[in-house]
Structure 1
């Protein structure tokens, strides 16, 4: 009636210091038996890539789901789910670790939404496939490989959500485009027809931080690129990223980066043959690295 393949792992305390650990992986398809009602002490991401079924919440609410979809199982929360009579294709990853709190705060794990429609399951299935391949017997890198793949899976699941545009969150995209303009948060909000509070909520949901911190991260990222790859004076770099006062920019950069702009340039800057050091790098069109033919 159904086919199933599962592997379970017991990572040690040193691997938990990676932030996430993989506790198990499974690939199943067919008319699978229902799961639960049960409660677990760790997280599980269940990806339904074909078929349909149902999920029952702790308060008895019945949620119908159709692939592609994600079922979030969170620690301590009762759950009960299964496929319709036609069966489904399912893959799952059990995981845990202190980084789950941060991923939850950033919105990558959503305990308030146990069933999430996906635009497609290709990316998540690829990440789960990497975990399954790492699960081969005798793999000495098992715990680290699978832990890295869990991080990748959480990103793939966030990107695959049906409520996320392939081009990215439109509010975040527009903020990034205008990040170097001298707009206040209130002015950014007005440009989007939002109140400052609505903008804060949207950015917090999409990026896990305030609009001010989101804009600052973009400005500092660009400042680092200009300091490392050009010979522009610090004052010119400050203006390029939206600060007319170079002294304020230097203080801000030092406080957030941990080193002064001039020192950062000394540490990162280099002369690159071919004139790259004389050109302002374009983050949207990086140079192509080709492998010489043999």
Structure 2
């Protein structure tokens, strides 16, 4: 015995231009029928939140699937899977497509080479799937945009829930972020973590989808923008605070990546108010209000 609920959508060409669209959503549990062998022309994320079963690769190898887990179905790749016939499993699935899938794959959020991914927790993914299910009500004028936005949330939730990552993310990335403002080379960062530069590049590429240099640069420039927008520090002082001893080099790097010189960015974004800068992350349930004391 099994139970299933599903909805399918046909987004317009205009909605496809948003980059990511949802094609369908389903919630199922019990001794579900075996799926495949079959091949699809789009992506599907199958989230197993309870129970166990199996997945068979195109070359015939059988892999055990134990909840919580994710099964990736990718375009053009044959797949064949199903739950344990005795106990079944709890499954939710989301079909999606769009040019943004290429970028998510390059960033490591979608993993075609790893069709079965153990998860530490399926709650975040189920929340995103729930948003799609609620948006799927008949006659919802925001259907395509709401469901597409929720697919982005789903991909982030699945990336965060990977069992090979700690609760705070990849420890290598966490350590790099902590040391991002030190004037250190990539080789020095690697040595600090007992790795070769090649090992560090592989780890950062796997975790963040970019090189260590680009990962550090993103953190440094983000902090530089904050300092330019919210303080009156000279550009040279900003450069030193984010790890660049040569302010001219920092200015060239900032201009090339941001598209504006640091001084020009400050002119556009500057909001310097004495005593008004806070480093505390706002609580979404209690956002800043008029009369609140700065911290």
Deviation at 1:115, TM superposition (A): 0.6
Match in the other structure for 2:59:
59
Q: TM-score, normalised by structure 2?
A: 0.94
Match in the other structure for 1:223:
224
Match in the other structure for 2:204:
203
Q: Does 1:161 align with 2:156?
A: no
Deviation at 1:83, TM superposition (A): 0.7
Deviation at 1:286, TM superposition (A): 2.7
Give per-residue Cα distances to partners, 1:81-105, cap 9 Å, x unaligned. Answer: 1110211110000000111111111
Match in the other structure for 2:71:
71
Q: TM-score, normalised by structure 1?
A: 0.95
The question of whether the paired residues in 1 share the 8 Å contact of 2:235 and 2:247 is answered with yes
Question: SS in structure 2 opposite 1:47?
Answer: strand
Aligned mates of 1:52, 1:241 — CA distance in 2 = 48
What's the RMSD between the two structures over aligned residues? 1.4
Aligned mates of 1:271, 1:116 — CA distance in 2 = 46
Match in the other structure for 1:5:
5
Question: SS in structure 2 opposite 1:25?
Answer: strand
1:254-265 correspondence runs (5 A): 254-265=255-266
Q: Does 1:35 align with 2:38?
A: no
Deviation at 1:65, TM superposition (A): 1.1
Taking a change above 3 Å as real, the CA distance of residues 185 and 82 of structure 1, as seen in their structure-2 partners, is: same
Aligned mates of 1:4, 1:52 — CA distance in 2 = 17
Match in the other structure for 2:267:
266
Deviation at 1:68, TM superposition (A): 0.5
Question: SS in structure 2 opposite 1:86?
Answer: coil
Give per-residue Cα distances to partners, 1:188-238, cap 9 Å, x unaligned. Answer: 111111111111101111111111111111110000000111111111111
Q: Does 1:95 align with 2:90?
A: no
Task: Count residues with an aligned counterpart.
Answer: 287
Match in the other structure for 1:20:
20
Taking a change above 3 Å as real, the CA distance of residues 4 and 17 of structure 1, as seen in their structure-2 partners, is: same
Q: Does 1:83 align with 2:78?
A: no
Deviation at 1:275, TM superposition (A): 2.3
Aligned mates of 1:38, 1:251 — CA distance in 2 = 52
